[in-house]
A = this chain, B = another copy of it.
């Protein structure tokens, strides 16, 4: 068995089983393409999810342990298998989230590899999880907490120093919700026309630059 050790990103398998990982290139080429397989129906999804949660160690074997390769040539196959087996993204269980948040609360922000491994193992008790999920969780959580902080600061600022009837502040959805005191739960589409001169819409809106040069070359 070879084990390469530790090289930078490599993880050392305790058994010869894995390693390849290249496969992880989960979504390989069809990067942006809509999944060939039509989206699962909600029923199917529910079932799948439920099953998965209740029986973590079972599903998707190929996804979690592609045993092959250490040679590039095989990776392709692995990728295919992996894709077919329906690689779904990690969906944290309440227990997992609880623990992660506790750690974050405790001050953890960017756990090192050793810490990540420990956390992964601990969380593995509650459901399938990988180190990268933990890593990503901290990255995202940290970033989003920052955003929240920044926004609330802005909000406070706009509120305190607002001689203007309609402060020109770009509010985020959550803030708008907050602002309206929860009386208007959603229906964001119409929020823009409420008393607040908020013109922001859904998450799909963005500032775009016109004149795409070769849009057809991207994705398709």
B residues near A115, Cβ cutoff 8 Å: 21-22, 25
- How many copies of this chain? 2
Asked if A201 is at the interface (CB within 8 A of a chain B CB), the reply is yes
Q: How far is the CB of A53 from chain B (nearest CB, A)?
A: 4
Contact in complex: A206, B51 (CB < 8 Å): no
* Cβ-defined contact, B208 with A72, below 8 A: no
- Contact indicator A217/B198 (Cβ below 8 Å): yes
A8's partner among B31, B52, B72 (CB-CB below 8 A) is B52
Nearest CB in chain B: distance from A137 CB, A: 12
A152 at the interface (CB under 8 A from B): no
Bitwise, A33-57 to B at CB < 8 A (1) or not (0) is 0000000000000011111111111
- In the assembled complex, A194 has its CB within 8 A of some CB on chain B: yes
CB-CB under 8 A for A218 and B184, given A60-B20, A64-B4, A170-B207: yes
Residue on B nearest A7 in the bound complex, by CB: B64
Q: Are A103 and B23 in contact (CB under 8 A)?
A: yes
Which residues of B have CB within 8 Å of A172? 201, 205
A111 an interface residue at 8 Å Cβ cutoff?
A: yes
Query: Is the beta-carbon distance between A204 and B29 smaller than 8 angstroms?
Result: yes
How near does chain B come to A163, taking the closest CB pair, in angstroms? 13
Asked if A24 and B58 make an inter-chain contact with CB atoms under 8 angstroms apart, the answer reads: yes
Q: Which residues of B contact A56 (CB under 8 A)?
A: 9, 24, 132
List 16 additional contacts besides A5-B62, A53-B131, A184-B216; criterion CB under 8 Å. A1-B18, A1-B63, A1-B130, A3-B11, A4-B68, A5-B13, A6-B79, A7-B63, A25-B108, A25-B112, A29-B202, A48-B113, A72-B118, A166-B210, A173-B204, A183-B220
Nearest first, the 6 closest Cβ-Cβ pairs linking A and B are A7-B64, A21-B60, A23-B106, A192-B209, A29-B203, A191-B212
